[in-house]
Amino acid sequence: MTIVYISASSIETPDKKRRAIERLSGVAEPVLVVLADDVAIEPAELGLAMAVPLNLEEGLVRNADGSVDTVGSRARCADYEAPTLSMTQGSLDATAALAYCMGASLEVFTGSAGAFQCDPSMVPGARELDGLSFEEAAELSRFADAGLNPAIISPVVKYRVPTVLYPTGTRGGSGSTVGTRIAAVSDSRFGPVQAIATQDSVSMVSLSGASLPGTVGAAARLFDAVSRAGVSVLLITQSSTEYSISFCVKSNDTSQVLETIKTEFSMELAAGSIDPVSVMDQLAIITLIGDGMRRTKGIAGRCFTQLARADVNIIAIAQGSSERAISAVISGDRLVRGVRMTYQAFFDAMMPIDLVIVGAGNVGAALIAQLTAQTRRLEDHGVSIRLIALANSRRMIVDRDGLDCEGWKEQLEARGVTMAMDALVALGPELVNPVLVDCTASEALPREYPRFMLEGFHIVTPNKRGNTGSLRQYTALKTIALRHRRRYLYETTVGAGLPVIENLQNLLHAGDKLESFSGILSGSLSYLFGKLEEGLSFSSVVRDAMERGFTEPDPRDDLAGVDVARKVLILARETGLSLELDDIKLTGLIPDEYLSLGKAEFLERLPELDEHFSRLCATAASEGKVLRFVGSIENGIGTAGLQAVGSGHPLFAVKGGENALAFSTRFYSPVPLLLRGYGAGAEVTAAGVFADILRTLNWIREV
């Protein structure tokens, strides 16, 4: 037999009533429908016109105090033959007792939108809970966002009657299909944690003092005082030193609690044996709930590690002896981010990357094209990449559900709004794994990196300005990234797609030491001098390199050698040298007078330099040498300039857009570590940026 209990809230709107009727029509017979005492509705309105009236109390035996005698009631119900369809009115307590005594299935129609793994307003992908144990349901029902009414859960748990909670409410326009089953044992397919519950608007009150350790009854006095104030305590924590006792209450109860405690401990406070009562406001509680946590090691570690990765500071922790609930007190403004990161650790098989790309030029456009091509393959490997925002210097477009990478140029023009850096920074707390990708050559954006990091962003960039600004700025960026556990990745600032920075860092971490370095660090200049060897004019090769996207937006950044000098500085700083850009001894390719010209005028006057470079190439060739623009580090000094190298030099054959870097170290000597590969073009750089983006997946979901 199935007993269906219909609460007033489950049929309070036409839509809820429709869903209740649909559910009733699918319940297997025989059926007993129990309307809550506060439901005033004609049976015909629920399709129950043919239901046989029934007295709920006839099946129950009560004790003198009014409680249900379950033994006597079970004996009375043993021979009961239920009609096909019957109906009555009564309390849920009586209904649950009868279901227990009859061995019947119980369904409770509620007006909520259902019980979910966590609040779907924080994690839209949260799934409805298909099953809970009695104990899990009891724990979860204490939280307002859980979708479980404690007035409904209490009788179910009291009589331990297997129950299906069927919500007739909707969330996001759709309703539950199966409801949540509550039974003696739950078996979640998602692991030991069933749900993440939250409590916001919390304050933590702390009582501390030198007289507390070893004082018998202090805690009893404290909580007796709180009880007299009529305030419910949400969480209690105390260290083994007994120096302090902390507990959480709802923020609107704080003033009442404070007055009560001050009155109770007035003598100790006056004598100074107890410190003034302290209060931390604007806090929140995150609680993991699940029976499986009792049998699984490392749950707390995974939770707290994930919160740390989200830069969420844990103020206090608490765990009951049942081990089915672990709570952490955090700052209220980090609640949503904390929940999303915790959900990722325990429920989401996909590893997310949420991109905010600034800069839609050659590299930015190539990166978006690669994202479009690779999205499906990455999803097959458990990686979910979404483009959340795209911006250029004038406009930006934001979609928290992810932009369509197809036709992004048209979308940016049609739907874009004025670029607002503050709006992009503010996206951080809303995203699980936000990554700022700086594809600009701007000096201003790197100054914003700290703000992005503090809001949870990793930084991936081919922009050299961040690491070649002042040494103070460089040090600050590295420090903030380390302190707040953010990835600051700039592999493409030196070798485009070549793994230069990572290899150098690995050597240094392993105890190696750089003795000297030399290399061709500009793919555009490598291309330039290769073409000059073929007899082409300087001006024609520069224009060709610009059209191919091999140069910086202003080719003088390459021709003046500044781009190479920046790369030398980046490498020098990675090795621990405290250098500024002005410390790099730079000899550029073009006279200073050309640097002061406007870009258009400079390009117009380029042919004036053709004869000069033709003579340089001829002179080098007469000696069996070729021209190469080389960056080097030796004896703590960085240089960048033109060199003529012979056939025995490792850089002799490097041309056509290739980069080559030779590191002589304690471990790699006398033969240096040589990295060589294509280093020119937007696609190569974008591929390197893409690789750095994937490196932000710095956690692996445990199963």
107 pLDDT band, cuts 50/70/90, is: very high
* 368 contact partners, CB below 8 Å, separation of at least 6: 357, 360, 387, 390, 405, 408
Of residues 233, 231, 289, the one with CA closest to residue 256: 231
pLDDT score of 472 more than 90: yes
pLDDT of residue 639: 97
Q: What is the pLDDT of residue 12?
A: 92
More confident residue, 170 or 205: 205
Q: What is the DSSP letter of 79?
A: T
CA pair distance 284, 5, nearest whole angstrom: 35
Identify the pLDDT of residue 476: 95
**DSSP-derived secondary structure for 379-447:** HHTTEEEEEEEEE-SSEEEE-TT---STTHHHHHHHH-EE--HHHHHTTGGG-SSEEEEE-S--SSGGG
Pairing of strands 278-289, 235-238: unpaired
Residue 77: phi and psi, rounded to 5, are: -85, -5
Residues with Cβ < 8 Å from 336, sequence gap 6 or more?
122, 429, 430
> For residue 199, what pLDDT band results from cuts at 50, 70 and 90?
very high
Per DSSP (E only), the strands in 332-379 are: 351-358
User: What is d(CA 522, CA 680) in angstroms, rounded to the nearest whole number?
Assistant: 7
The predicted structure's pLDDT at residue 78? 86
Task: Name residues whose C-beta falls within 8 Å of residue 245's C-beta, 6 or more positions apart in sequence.
Answer: 206, 207, 208, 212, 218, 219, 222, 236, 237, 238
Query: 583: burial class by Cβ within 10 Å (0-12, 13-18, 19+)?
Result: middle
AA letter at 139: E
| Helix, strand or coil, per DSSP, at residue 167 | strand
d(CA 210, CA 214): 10
Give 659-701 pLDDT, tens digit per residue.
899 999 999 998 899 999 887 678 989 999 999 999 998 644 4
- Bridge partners of residue 32, in order along the sequence: 3, 86
Query: CB within 8 A of 130, min separation 6: which ones?
Result: 178, 180, 181, 188
Contact 498, 659 (CB under 8 A): yes
CA nearest neighbour of 554 among 598, 497, 514, 523: 598
Of 57-61, 80-84, 159-163, the poorest mean pLDDT is in 80-84
Residues 163, 84 contacting (CB under 8 angstroms): no
Q: What is the pLDDT of residue 432?
A: 83
Exposure string for 420-430, b = 16+ CB within 10 A, e = fewer: eeeebbebbbb
Q: What's the CA gap between 166 and 235, in Å, rounded?
A: 30
- Is the distance from CB of 472 to CB of 578 less than 8 angstroms? no
Measure the CA–CA gap between 586 and 348, rounded to whole angstroms.
Answer: 51
SS3 for 575? coil
Average pLDDT over residues 162-166: 93
- Residue 584 pLDDT > 80: yes
pLDDT at 144: 82
> Which of 113-122, 504-513, 544-553 has the highest average model confidence (pLDDT)?
504-513
Per DSSP, the chain holds a count of helices (H) and strands (E) of 25, 29
**Whether pLDDT at 616 is above 90:** yes
Active site residues: 567
User: Can you list the positions of beta strands (E) in 477-536?
Assistant: 488-489, 514-520
Mean pLDDT of 354-365: 94
* CB within 8 Å of 171: residues ≥ 6 apart: 113, 114, 116, 120
Q: Which helix (H) or strand (E) holds 16?
A: helix 14-25
Mean pLDDT lowest among 40-49, 173-182, 415-424: 173-182
Residue 320: closest CA among 137, 117, 139: 139
Residues 6+ apart with CB under 8 A from 43: 49, 51, 87
Q: How many CB atoms lie within 10 A of CB 688?
A: 28
Phi, psi (5° rounding) for residue 152? -85, -40
> In this predicted structure, which of 162-176, 246-260, 480-494 has the lowest mean pLDDT?
162-176
pLDDT for res 1: 87
Amino acid at 604: E
Q: At what angle do helices 610-622 and 523-533 cross, to 10 degrees?
A: 70
Tokens of 395: 């406009």
Average pLDDT score, the chain = 90
Mean pLDDT of 46-51: 82
Strands in 458-460's sheet, in edge-to-edge order, are: 417-418, 395-398, 383-391, 351-358, 434-438, 458-460, 488-489
Q: Distance (Å, rounded) from C-alpha 557 to C-alpha 26? A: 74
Residue 132 pLDDT: 94
| Per-residue pLDDT tens digits for 533-564 | 999 999 999 999 888 878 877 888 889 999 89
CB-based contact 340:311 (threshold 8 Å): no
Contact 496, 490 (CB under 8 A): no
> Is the per-residue pLDDT at 287 higher than 70?
yes
Question: Which pLDDT score, from 0 to 100, does residue 700 have?
Answer: 41
Tell me, rounded to whole angstroms, the distance of Cα 570 from its chain centroid.
29
pLDDT digits (tens, 9 = 90+) for 326-344: 999 999 999 998 999 899 8
pLDDT, position 699: 47
Please give the average per-residue pLDDT across 363-390, as a whole number.
93
Q: Please check whether residue 488 is in contact with residue 477, taking contact to mean a CB–CB distance below 8 angstroms.
A: yes
Interatomic CA distance for residues 673 and 184, integer angstroms: 64
Note the pLDDT tens digit of each residue in 657-669.
Answer: 888 999 999 999 9
**pLDDT above 60 (res 486):** yes
DSSP percent split of the chain into helix, strand, coil, nearest 5? 40, 25, 35
Query: Residue 171: what pLDDT?
Result: 67
Residue 175: the pLDDT is: 52
Is residue 170 pLDDT above 80, yes or no?
A: no
Residue 510 CB burial class (10 angstroms; 0-12, 13-18, ≥19)? exposed
Does residue 607 have a cis bond before it (omega within 30 degrees)? no
Contacts of 29 (CB under 8 A, 6+ apart): 2, 84, 85
Residue type, 366: A
Rounded to whole angstroms, the Cα distance separating 392 from 375 reads 23
pLDDT of 703: 32
Is the pLDDT at 238 greater than 80? The verdict is yes
Higher pLDDT, 327 or 28: 327
What digits encode the pLDDT tens for the residues 625-650? 999 999 999 999 999 999 999 988 88
- Give me the torsion for CA of 306, 309, 310, 313, rounded to 10°: 90
Closest CA to 437 of 483, 387, 398: 387
Q: Tell the residue number behind the tokens 């007078």, with chain if given.
A: 593
Global pTM reads 0.75
pLDDT for res 172 = 56
Residues facing residue 353 across a β-bridge: 385
Q: Choose among 439, 477, 479, 431: nearest CA to 457.
A: 431
Is 176 a residue whose pLDDT tops 60?
A: no
- Mean pLDDT, rounded, for 357-368: 94
Task: Identify the residue whose tokens are 């081919």.
Answer: 462
* Amino acid, res. 564: V
